[in-house]
Structure 1
Amino acid sequence: MKRVKKAPADAKKKIQEQDEVARLKRRISELQEENDILKKFQRFQAEERRKRSGSSGNTDETTV
């Protein structure tokens, strides 16, 4: 009889754990996507800085 009474509690606990695992997997996916976006933005900014530094270096000397 103890096993019959314990089974629903174990099943409920297992379902809760599965829900938590699914939630954490979704969160990991979201964070990976955010990380990819930030990496792309960082590369974009670096490229823009390179473009500006190449052209602005010459203009600073001529304005002085």
Structure 2
Amino acid sequence: MADCQPMACRNAALTAANRQALEGHIAALDTTLADGDRLAPYVRHRLQEQRRETASFLIHHTPEPTL
């Protein structure tokens, strides 16, 4: 499982706890990036990229509302 990449897996199951953890990760990235001028350019870029990928994953895997 060391090579597991759930955000790249078509068979990933996103539970409410997973979604909450990923949203918390985005919040932590936002906090770190808010002080982005103190980060090395490459580190800032990678964190921004990670935030975009995580947010995109959550948007793409938002459950459809039930009728």
Q: Which TM-score applies when normalising by structure 2?
A: 0.39
Q: State the TM-score, normalized to the length of structure 1.
A: 0.40
Whichever structure has more helix as a proportion of its residues is 1
